């Protein structure tokens, strides 16, 4: 089959998409990943049999672009109305939609004009009949002039504020969801349609409308691959955007040929919320077999930092950014003397500056180490020289509470005990495989206590060879790949029959 995958960002930074695409190519499918990039021109690349088409991001939002975004929005939102209120096409909605669609964009403008005229019609008689006669009797001419001048100045300021800031805020409220949810559809769905796939595989919510538009146009099925619990993330979005995210998902998720997600908890939540069959869980796990074959690391983390074998070294693997609990970990170092902390991963500059400042404030600068990221297949051999690993993700949203990060598995497969935050999927993992301890991720003292426990009783919690083998068998990519292939085999069989 020809499979088109949607992706909102550069393909090289999304290991899950790469693994899924290569797994499908491996069994004979043809896969094209249509993604966004910062390049000025479209770019076509091929890696391990997978074709990648990078489409430049929209540089500016023009009026014409907004119209295109709005019509995609109107199309999806009408599906939400149909789904939410159980309206069938037999009641004539299709014909009504076709006749009124060109005028739909004018409805908000017309309503504003009607309201303004209505307000003017109500206020004008009130001013003429009540306010003016009273003002002439009560106030002298000079006082009336003063009041009138004050009114004019106030009106001028109000109009100025309305035109410059308020209108801008109102525009952002309405434009942000259009861009966030439909820019991919406007920019990329045409390319997918032109490639004419047999199935569309939608990664992430922001590509959902684009994937749906392409699949609908070609009359082919689509899969929805939810990398997160999209309605409960820590993204900084406006209220209206959150509303439309939920309604887009409500409208489109039931029309998917199948739904895929990253952990059991999110699968249960989606099934309950949208009353769909339980999604297929394909964990976001590394390909340990490929890493073992291709990953040769010439230097370990401990050697890179110049630490002796006797020094205690905690490692955090992942992005150095907000809501990962890293500020608490740095503060915890003052309560855990002698323990070094290495942060291995890409760094968000604002978070990096904050951590450096905190380390200096708490007097632990010499024990905090910021290390550049290493290729995914080298993570396990690089970090296995540490004493233990920290997973301090903060419980700031439901998506984080349900998360099952691949860095946990990389740490354990590398032979490291782990100190985990009290999050649902992490606690379930530790219940199955007791290779670490829990900590209160919001408390520096609790983190310090966990660090000291693991540094003093490392051998008690260190994963055994049998545990590592069981973890790879249960969580590893080979078992996840089999579920993905089975899903497509089932779709192929249904199409053929």
pLDDT above 90 as % of the chain: 65
Q: Of 271 and 238, which is predicted with more confidence?
A: 271
The domain spans of the chain are 2-64+179-281, 86-174, 288-475
Q: Copy the structure tokens of residue 103.
A: 């005028």
Q: Which fold has domain 288-475?
A: Rossmann fold (3.40.50)
Task: Tell me the average pLDDT of the chain.
Answer: 87
pLDDT value at position 92?
45
Q: Copy the structure tokens of residue 330.
A: 């740095």
pLDDT above 70 as % of the chain: 82
pLDDT greater than 60 at residue 195: yes
Q: What is the pTM of this model?
A: 0.81
Q: For the segment 80-123, what is each residue's pLDDT rounded down to a tens digit?
A: 888 877 655 444 445 444 544 545 555 565 566 666 666 766 66
pLDDT value at position 95?
46
pLDDT greater than 70 at residue 168: no
Q: For the segment 62-72, what is each residue's pLDDT rounded down to a tens digit?
A: 878 888 998 99
Q: Of 155 and 88, which is predicted with more confidence?
A: 155
pLDDT value at position 124?
64
pLDDT greater than 70 at residue 163: no
Minimum mean pLDDT among 154-163, 293-302, 348-357: which range? 154-163
Q: Copy the structure tokens of residue 41.
A: 């021109």
For the chain, the three-class secondary structure string (H helix, E strand, C coil) is CEEEEECCCCHHHCHHHHHHHHHHHHCCCEEEEEEEECCCCCEEEEECCEEEEEEECCCCCCHHHHHHHHHHHHHHHHHHHHHHHCCCHHHCHHHHHHHHHHHHCCHHHHHHHHHHHHHHHHHHHHHHHHHHHHHHHHCCHHHHHHHHHHHHHHHHHHHHHHHHHHHHHHHHHHHHHHHHHHHHHHHHHHHHHHHCCCEEEEECHHHHHHHHHHHHHHCCCEEEEECCCCCCCCCCCCHHHHHHHHHHHHHHHCCCCEEEECCHHHHHHHHHHHCCCCCEECCCCCCHHHHHHHCCCCCCHHHHHCCCCCCEEEEEECCECCCCCHHHHHHHHHHCCCEEEEEECCECHHHHHHHHHHHHHHCCHHHEEEECCCCHHHHHHHHCCCCEEEECCCCCCHHHHCCCCHHHHHHHHCCCCEEEECCHHHHHHHHHCCCEEEECCCCHHHHHHHHHHHHHCHHHHCCCHHHHHHHHHHHCHHHHHHHHHHHHHHHHHHHHC
Q: For the segment 21-41, what is each residue's pLDDT rounded down to a tens digit?
A: 999 999 999 999 999 988 788
Q: For the segment 361-376, what is each residue's pLDDT rounded down to a tens digit?
A: 999 999 999 999 988 8
**Same fold: 2-64+179-281 with 288-475:** yes
Q: Which fold has domain 2-64+179-281?
A: Rossmann fold (3.40.50)
What is the band of 136 on the pLDDT scale with cuts at 50, 70, 90?
Answer: low
Q: For the segment 197-207, what is each residue's pLDDT rounded down to a tens digit?
A: 999 999 989 99
What is the band of 339 on the pLDDT scale with cuts at 50, 70, 90?
Answer: very high
Q: Of 91 and 184, which is predicted with more confidence?
A: 184
pLDDT value at position 105?
53
Q: For the segment 408-466, what is each residue's pLDDT rounded down to a tens digit?
A: 999 999 999 999 999 999 999 999 999 999 999 999 999 999 999 999 999 999 999 99
Q: Of 299 and 340, which is predicted with more confidence?
A: 340
């Amino acid at each position: 089959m020809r499979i088109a995958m949607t992706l909102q960002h550069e393909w090289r930074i999304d290991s899950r998409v790469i693994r899924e695409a290569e797994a499908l190519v491996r069994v004979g499918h043809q896969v094209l990943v249509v993604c966004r990039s910062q390049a000025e021109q479209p770019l076509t690349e091929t890696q391990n049999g997978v074709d990648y088409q990078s489409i430049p991001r929209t540089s500016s939002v023009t009026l014409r672009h907004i119209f295109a975004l709005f019509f995609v929005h109107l199309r999806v939102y009408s599906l939400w109305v149909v789904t939410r209120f159980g309206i069938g096409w037999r009641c004539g909605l299709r014909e009504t939609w076709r006749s009124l669609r060109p005028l739909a964009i004018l409805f908000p403008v017309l309503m504003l004009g009607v309201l303004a005229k209505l307000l003017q019609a109500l206020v004008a008689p009130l001013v003429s009949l009540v306010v003016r006669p009273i003002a002439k009797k009560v106030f002298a001419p000079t006082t009336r002039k003063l009041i009138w001048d004050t009114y004019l100045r106030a009106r001028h300021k109000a109009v100025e504020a309305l035109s410059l800031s308020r209108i801008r805020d109102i525009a952002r409220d309405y434009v942000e969801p259009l861009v966030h949810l439909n820019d991919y559809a406007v920019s990329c769905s045409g390319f997918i349609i032109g490639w004419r796939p047999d199935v569309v595989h939608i990664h992430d919510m922001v590509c959902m409308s684009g994937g749906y538009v392409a699949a609908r146009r070609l009359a082919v099925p689509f899969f929805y691959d939810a990398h997160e619990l999209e309605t409960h993330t820590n993204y900084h979005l406006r209220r209206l955007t959150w509303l439309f995210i939920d309604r887009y998902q409500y409208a489109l998720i039931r029309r998917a040929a199948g739904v895929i997600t990253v952990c059991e908890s999110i699968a249960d939540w989606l099934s309950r919320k949208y009353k769909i069959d339980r999604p297929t869980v394909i964990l976001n796990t590394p390909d340990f077999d490929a890493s073992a074959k291709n990953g040769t690391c010439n230097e370990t983390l401990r050697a890179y930092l110049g630490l002796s074998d006797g020094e205690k070294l905690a490692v955090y693997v992942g992005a150095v950014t907000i809501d990962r609990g890293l500020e608490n970990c740095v503060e915890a170092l003052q309560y855990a003397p002698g323990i070094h902390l290495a942060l291995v991963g890409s760094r968000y500059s604002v978070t990096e500056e904050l951590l450096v400042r905190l380390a200096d404030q708490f007097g632990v600068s010499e024990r905090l180490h910021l290390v550049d990221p290493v290729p995914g297949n080298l993570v396990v051999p690089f970090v296995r020289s540490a004493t233990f690993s920290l997973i301090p993700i903060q419980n700031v949203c439901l998506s984080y509470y349900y998360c099952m990060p691949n860095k946990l598995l990389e740490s354990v497969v590398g032979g490291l005990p782990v100190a985990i935050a009290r999050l649902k999927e992490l606690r379930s993992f530790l219940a199955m495989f007791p290779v670490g301890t829990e900590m209160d991720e919001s408390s520096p003292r609790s983190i310090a206590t966990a660090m000291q426990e693991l540094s003093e009783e490392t051998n008690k919690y260190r994963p055994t060879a049998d545990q590592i083998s069981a973890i790879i068998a249960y969580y590893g990519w080979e078992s996840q790949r089999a579920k993905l292939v089975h899903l497509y085999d089932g779709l192929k069989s249904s199409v053929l029959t």
